Chains A and B, each alone.
Chain A
Amino acid sequence: MAENILYLTELVGLKVRDRRGRTIGRIRDAALVPLIDPARVDRFLVGGGWAWLTIRHEHVETISLDGLRLREEILTPYHEDEYTLRVVRDLLDQQIIDAQGRKVVRVTDITFEIRPAGGHDELYILEVDIGLRSVFRRLLQGVLPPRWIRRLQAPIPPNSIPWQFCNIVEPDPQRRLRLNITNELLEKMHPADLADIVEALGPEEREAIIASIDSEVAAEALSEVEPEIQTSILEALEPEKAAEIVEEMAPDEAADLLGELEEEKTEQIFEEMETEPKAEVRELLEFAEDTAGGLMDTRFVALHESATVADAFAALRGNEELLETLNTLFLIDGEERLVGAVPLGRLFVASASTPLKELAAPTTISVPVSERQPQIVELFDKYNLLTLPVVDEEGKLEGVITADDIISVLRER
């Protein structure tokens, strides 16, 4: 066992000695000041006599399993400081997000590294421990001497998360700023993983996360969250923030979601929204949820029937935000009526001047906005569709249903 490692279970209760070796008290907690250094223990809190005392990191000479030795005896009475993160009070036994393993975990112990710096020792958080090994340490803490515990725990496999991948959950936005908690790690996650994490947290924490991360990421994550949780999060958010997120969502999903909210809240959110997305969502909200109108997405790429492959590429360049999931282009006539569908792949094997009409699939399958869910699912199955255009009574293209919408429908059953 490396000698430069110290567990929190060992740190708590460690004796603090002054320069002449007299015991001042025992360590009760350690505090970081994340704004200064995200991993270094800035202060040690010592319980001696009646009150707690604070020892700053630069006044410590050596740190080891045998105790903490001071080099300068400057102790100040402890008082609450909003910029400090106290490891025992704020971390131990609390939930944090493991951004690497993409899950919510509970802190059982913390591993520190003792680093010599300019003639004295400093303590840095290395890992957060979560597995059986740390449970073992906690249970025997204070029962057996630390060195025995270290030897006995050896056969149990360790389970730890590097500190830089730990994301603390703090619902209070003020405190989050003071503790320098960013949600960068969360924003980099896949939205589906972030959604799982949001689901695993309590209501207050999940609202805090959705409210504090980038609206685009929040929107993507929110669309992956279970419907009941979606509504409860959105109800709790400020209408302004909720509107920002809803604007980033696909209009069909936004409409489904807003349809579940209480009317008053929906109106508040609408008031904050920009005109264009609002109109689309409002329109979709009119359709019953289990019809083609309720399922469809109103964002699609449609070109005039006389367009060529070159025109198609130009149109795609103007709709880059759709590219990730787009697989079909639609052809419409002068009155916006649907006349054909071109699978995206065909564009790549045709010359730039080819009219799109020649590339269109021989038959165009579409459904009216009022078509019911079961019939739609059947069409997808029967014709192996990836996308299904939706048209109004006059044959005008209104929206598109995609296979992922159908997967959601099937899962809900």
Chain B
Amino acid sequence: MAVLKRLRYRIGVFFAVLGPGFITAVVDNDAGGIFTYSQAGARWGYLPLWTLLPITVLLIVTQEMCSRMGAVTGKGLSDLIREEFGLRTTFFVMAALVGANLTNVMANFAGVASSLELFEVSRYISVPLAAAGVFMLIVKGTYARIEKIFLVACALYVAYIISGFMVRPDWGEALFNSVRPVLLIDPEYITMLIGMVGTSVAPWMQFYLQAAVVEKGITAREYAESRIEVIVGCIVMTIIAFFIVVACAGAIWSESPRNINDATDAALALRPFGRYAFLLFCAGLLNASLFAACILPLSTAYTVCEGLGFPSGVNHRYRDARFFYNLIGFLVIVGAGVILIPGFPLVKMILLSQVLNGMLLPLVLIFMVLLVNKKELLKEWVNPGWYNVVAWVAVVVMIGLTLALLGITLRELRAG
């Protein structure tokens, strides 16, 4: 009886803390992520699936540290960086973050535009409407309400799982490749692998997750549930990625392996498998793009204001938090606006965002591990020794891969 009551209490707490970790992990599959996974499946079929397991571990390790720091200190990551590493460091991290996130916002509005263009909706209608909707949602909503909408958006990712099934891929092959690492000495293959890891752990996520944990008032006491939530979120993210790769492998690679130009290209390839497979893939892309277009400006504004000590939060009025709202406005208007400029070098901008992300991520990860080991901040919640080994290995792997991606992207930028 007591055990049952205890269990009910635990489950209750889990649902009460459900939100930050789950949302962050799922938004990770934004327009850019979906493209990367689609491309991996279209070009290499089931081969890249084995990377998803190590990616999940990397993601869990980094996300877990952030949510722990948030729960124990009650402060955001940019707050802690400011307190421990000074204003100037914080300022440059913030500047790079704004740059990287702005291009991320662009990529996601581009996702909105292209997914709706498949339904003959002009981008000159869809993008301004989406931008206005995003802005209203952020400015008019309270955090609790926004979070509920986000959780619903998370549920819509099921679209990818269903479309994955409709393609009738080779499940045996898919499962086998999920656990069999294959390394080909082929620059294109290696680029693809790095790209998959690179899109899965982004700097903004660390800031967003920690801030959201704080905003939600999760404390060290509820942290055990919060940790489960983070882990579940990361696993769900991988499952969605798995189905995107599998859908594209089944629909495109098994016919003839090829490169795709964007995520809508993948959606078009699903057409022969039925109207619904195509529709679901498009709807998934639209949902993911809109979702990320909401979260990125909001999270960036929170992070920057926190770090620089300006008032922030959707619960403030405009005149009390001018900088906060102006920054959101800037990100949404510029991020959506450039999509409407004919001939805007969007692909270049997205590559540029990968470069900025790549330069920022090592820095952020190092700060994180240093902070999470500070006894005066985390008390008994600092990393245990073995965990530090895992964390540093994860950091080094991530840094190595991002630097490699950085090199490749820079070469592409020069070539293009």
Which of A106, A141, A226 interacts with B82 by CB under 8 Å? Answer: A106
Give Cα A107 to B72, complex, Å: 22
**Chain A: interface residue total (CB-CB under 8 A):** 23
Interface, chain B (partner A; CB < 8 A)? 72-75, 79, 82-83, 86-88, 91, 217, 219-221, 308-309, 311
Q: How many A-B residue pairs have CB under 8 A?
A: 46
**Residue B87 contacts which of A135, A204, A235 (CB distance < 8 angstroms)?**
A135
B130 to chain A, nearest CB (A): 30
Whether the Cβ atoms of B75 and A108 lie closer than 8 Å is no
Could you tell me if B87 and A232 are in contact, using CB atoms closer than 8 angstroms? no
* A175-209 to B contact mask, C-beta < 8 Å, 1/0: 00000000000000000000000000111111000
Q: Please measure, in the bound complex, the distance between the C-alpha atom of A203 and the C-alpha atom of B221, giving whole angstroms.
A: 11
Q: Is there contact, CB below 8 Å, between B309 and A106?
A: yes
Can you list 24 contacts pairing A with B, beta carbon distance less than 8 Å? A94-B83, A105-B309, A106-B79, A107-B309, A130-B309, A135-B87, A135-B309, A138-B87, A138-B91, A141-B88, A201-B74, A202-B73, A202-B74, A202-B75, A203-B72, A203-B74, A203-B219, A203-B220, A204-B73, A205-B74, A228-B217, A229-B217, A232-B219, A232-B221
B82 contacts which chain A residues (CB < 8 A)? 93, 106
Check B219 against A139 for contact (C-beta < 8 Å): no
Closest 10 CB pairs of A and B: A202-B74, A106-B309, A232-B219, A228-B217, A138-B87, A203-B74, A202-B75, A202-B73, A93-B82, A229-B217
Other than the known A103-B311, A135-B87, A226-B217, what 16 A-B pairs have Cβ atoms closer than 8 Å?
A94-B83, A105-B309, A106-B79, A108-B87, A135-B91, A138-B87, A139-B87, A201-B74, A202-B74, A203-B72, A203-B73, A203-B74, A205-B74, A228-B217, A228-B219, A232-B219
User: A165 to chain B: closest CB distance in Å?
Assistant: 17
Q: What residues of B have a CB within 8 angstroms of the CB of A226 in the complex?
A: 217
Digitize A124-163: 1 where CB-to-B-CB distance is under 8 Å, 0 elsewhere.
0000001000010011010000000000000000000000
94-110 of chain A: CB within 8 A of chain B? 94, 103, 105-108
Whether the Cβ atoms of B88 and A138 lie closer than 8 Å is yes
A135 touches B308 (CB 8 A): yes
A residues within 8 Å of B by Cβ? Answer: 93-94, 103, 105-108, 130, 135, 138-139, 141, 201-206, 226, 228-229, 232, 235
CA distance A183 to B369 in the complex (A): 35
Chain B nearest CB: distance from A287 CB in Å?
Answer: 20
Residues A93 and B217 in contact in the complex (CB < 8 Å), given A108-B309, A202-B73, A203-B74: no
Q: Determine how close the nearest CB of chain A comes to the CB of B118; give it in whole angstroms.
A: 40
Residues of the B chain whose Cβ atoms lie less than 8 Å from the Cβ of A107: 309
Residues of B within 8 A of A232 (CB): 217, 219, 221
**Residue from B75, B79, B221 within 8 A of A235 (CB atoms):** B221
Give A108 to B88 CA distance when docked, in angstroms.
11
* A204–B379 CA distance with the chains assembled, in angstroms: 11
> Measured between C-beta atoms, what is the minimum distance from A205 to chain B in Å?
8
Residues in A whose Cβ lies below 8 Å from that of B217: 226, 228-229, 232
| B interface, over-half SS | helix
Question: Are A93 and B221 in contact, with the CB atoms below 8 A?
Answer: no
Q: Kindly provide the distance from the CB of A105 to the nearest chain B CB, expressed in whole angstroms.
A: 6
When distances are taken between beta carbons in the complex, the residues of chain A under 8 Å from B83 are 93-94
| Complex: chain B residue closest to A94, CB-CB | B83
Give min CB distance, A174 to chain B, whole Å: 15
Which residues of A lie under 8 Å from residue B220 when comparing CB positions?
A: 203
Q: State the CA gap A366–B197 with chains docked (Å).
A: 64
Q: What is the CA–CA distance of A203 and B379 in the complex, to the nearest angstrom? A: 13
Of A139, A202, A203, which contacts B88 at CB under 8 A?
A: A139
Q: Which residues on the A side are within 8 Å of B311 (C-beta)?
A: 103
With a cutoff of 8 Å between Cβ atoms, the chain B residues found around residue A103 in the complex are: 311
Residues of the B chain whose Cβ atoms lie less than 8 Å from the Cβ of A138: 87-88, 91
Closest B residue to A138 using CB positions: B87
Tell me which residues across on chain A come within 8 A of B74, comparing CB atoms: 201-206
Q: List, in ascending order, chain A residues with CB within 8 A of B87's CB.
A: 93, 108, 135, 138-139
Closest to B218 in A: A228
Note all chain B residues with C-beta closer than 8 A to A130: 309
Q: Which residues of A contact B72 (CB under 8 A)?
A: 203
In Å, the complex CA distance between A257 and B308 comes to 35
Q: Which residues of A contact B221 (CB under 8 A)?
A: 232, 235
Complex: how many Å from CA A90 to CA B38?
Answer: 51
Name B84's closest neighbour in chain A (CB-CB).
A93
- Taken together as a complex, chains A and B put the C-alpha atoms of A232 and B264 apart, in Å, by 48
CA separation between A235 and B221, bound complex, in Å? 9
> B86, A139: Cβ atoms under 8 Å?
no
Complex CA distance for A235 and B91, rounded to whole angstroms: 37
Q: Which residues of A contact B309 (CB under 8 A)?
A: 105-108, 130, 135
Taking the closest CB of chain A, its distance from the CB of B277, in whole angstroms, is 40
Inter-chain CA distance A201–B86, complex, in Å, is 19
Q: Report Cα–Cα, A135/B323, bound state, in Å.
A: 13
Bound-state CA distance A93–B79 (Å) is: 9
Report the Cα distance A407→B240, complex, angstroms. 42
CA distance A229 to B222 in the complex (A): 12
A93 and B86 contact, Cβ closer than 8 Å, known pairs A139-B91, A203-B74: yes
Q: In whole Å, how far is B372's beta carbon from the nearest beta carbon of chain A?
A: 15
Q: Across the two chains, which residue of chain A brings its CB closest to B320? A: A103
Q: Give the residue name and chain of the A residue nearest to B82 (CB).
A: A93
Q: How far is the CB of A92 from chain B (nearest CB, A)?
A: 8
- A106-B91 Cα distance, complex, nearest whole Å: 14
Q: Write the nearest CB–CB distance from B157 to chain A, whole angstroms.
A: 28
Q: List chain B residues, Cβ under 8 A from A141.
A: 88
Which residue from chain A places its CB closest to the CB of B86 in the assembled complex? A93
Complex CA distance for A175 and B385, rounded to whole angstroms: 31
CB distance from B347 to the nearest CB of A (A): 33
By beta carbon, the residue of chain A nearest B306 is A106
The CA of A201 and the CA of B74, in the complex, are separated in Å by: 7
Q: How far is the CB of A355 from chain B (nearest CB, A)?
A: 50
Smallest CB separation, B226 vs chain A (Å):
13
Which chain B residues border A228 with CB–CB below 8 Å?
A: 217, 219
- Measured in the bound complex, the distance between the Cα atoms of B310 and A135 in whole Å is 10
Measured CA separation A206–B82 after assembly (Å): 20
* Min CB–CB distance B366 → chain A (angstroms): 19
Q: Select from chain A the residue with minimum beta-carbon distance to B71.
A: A203
Chain B residues within 8 Å of A229, by CB: 217
